Amino acid sequence: MKFRVERDVLADAVAWTARSLPSRPSVPVLAGMLLDATADEGGRLKLSSFDYEVSAQVSVDIDVEDAGTTLVSGRLLAEITKNLPPQTVEISTDGAKVVVSCGSAKFTLLTLPVEDYPSLPAMPEPTGSIGSDAFAAAVGQVAIAAGRDDTLPMLTGVRVEIEGDTVTLASTDRYRLAVRELVWKPENPDVSAVALVPAKTLADTAKSLTSGAEVSIALANAESGEGMIGFEGGGRRTTTRLLDGEFPKYRALLPDSFNSVAEVQRGEFIEAVKRVSLVAERNTPLRLAFSEGQLVLEAGTGDEAQAVEALDASLDGDEVQIAFNSAFLLDGLSAIDSDVARLQFTTSTKPAIITGKPADDDATADYRYLIMPVRLSG
């Protein structure tokens, strides 16, 4: 095998493929990155990684002299390509070694046995496509509420519901719930599907596929074997196994009617929450009191440091006194894409819903962040 490629193109492709390499591989070959150089389309290099959970594959244009396949340590190759000088890189095989040359720098790497490397799962048939930036933003809004506790795997995922031209993303860690609806282009207008995708993998994938205008999503149905979802965009494609388990019936948690609706400037609210919660001990909540025209934030108790700050706020309905975990509140406020935060309450002991203020007052918000209040003693 022997080929030449631009350093930036190679470094980019290697770094992306290395993202899904396991940190502690169960078998040594899984730490490898597969390089497959072919003379197709004037010369293509396909880079692949796979850990039996997540696979990643990217193709780039190269100037190929000898086609071939080799397997080298992915992390080492990523470190080397990131630090090469900005010149053309030549990669060639020499017996059981791979030589990487760039300018006057030359690296010799040992190869791993290609024949022991597992074959990557085939990409399922495309289910539909969506704008890559819109998808990345939506996943970012929802993944924040996913659980981090691996003993409850079904809560560490994002539920993806596909119904015709609507995709709904939802996640919860039992203390908050984030739901986002967005429109996409399905291959079949009557499509209906559900998948539970590991939240961290989904967030990383969505963020890394924004180089192309669109992301194609491919969902393998249960009949075709293992539950799997694939994403493809900008020459990059990745698949991940789905999580098992029953996701909570979250729609029942979203209230239909509210006794109070408050609106606050989002930027000011975020800054005030950050300031006031400086005195909140790790598990003490931030107290909010909404009345006509103002919101008062308080934290701390009589025996400890205390903070209080007042903001302008509009209130429609009953006055509300409620307390939240400040980190969960900040997550929700940071996720909405509107200058005005709208908070909807039923009572101070029931969950509240945070949304952005829709441009059209009658429109329903496509993003909802439900947050459980903290009960105040006394």
pLDDT value, residue 211: 84
d(CA 172, CA 180): 12
pLDDT value, residue 377: 66
d(CA 37, CA 183): 38
Closest among 77, 67, 75 to 98, alpha carbons compared: 77
- Mean predicted lDDT score pLDDT of the chain: 92
Which residues face 237 on adjacent strands?
A: 57, 232
Residue with tokens 């239909």: 256
Q: In angstroms, how far is CA 182 from the centroid of its own chain?
A: 16
pLDDT value, residue 222: 53
Beta strands in 41-191 (DSSP E): 44-50, 54-61, 63-66, 68-73, 88-94, 97-102, 105-110, 128-131, 157-163, 166-172, 176-183, 185-186
User: Phi-psi region for residue 16, left (φ > 0), alpha (ψ -120 to 50) or beta?
Assistant: alpha
3-class DSSP state of 346: coil
pLDDT value, residue 201: 94
Q: Is-contact 195 242, C-beta < 8 A?
A: yes
Q: Could you give the residue ranges of the DSSP H alpha helices within 144-230?
A: 199-208
pLDDT in tens, 251-275: 999 988 999 999 999 999 999 999 9
pLDDT in tens, 23-32: 889 999 999 9
Whole-structure pTM value? 0.91
Q: How confident is the model at residue 369 (pLDDT cuts 50, 70, 90)?
A: very high
Q: How confident is the model at residue 170 (pLDDT cuts 50, 70, 90)?
A: very high
pLDDT in tens, 71-116: 999 999 999 999 999 999 999 999 999 999 999 999 999 999 999 9
pLDDT in tens, 271-311: 999 999 999 877 789 999 999 999 999 998 777 789 999 99
User: Phi-psi region for residue 140, left (φ > 0), alpha (ψ -120 to 50) or beta?
Assistant: alpha
pLDDT in tens, 304-341: 789 999 999 999 999 999 999 999 999 999 999 899 99
The two three-digit tokens of residue 230, written as one number: 């694939």
d(CA 274, CA 221): 44
Q: How confident is the model at residue 363 (pLDDT cuts 50, 70, 90)?
A: low
Give the pLDDT mean for 208-226. 80
The two three-digit tokens of residue 231, written as one number: 């994403």
* pLDDT greater at residue 42 or residue 202: 202
* pLDDT greater at residue 179 or residue 152: 179
Q: Is 11 exposed, middle or buried (0-12, 13-18, 19+ CB in 10 A)?
A: buried
d(CA 49, CA 283): 41
Give the pLDDT mean for 351-358. 92
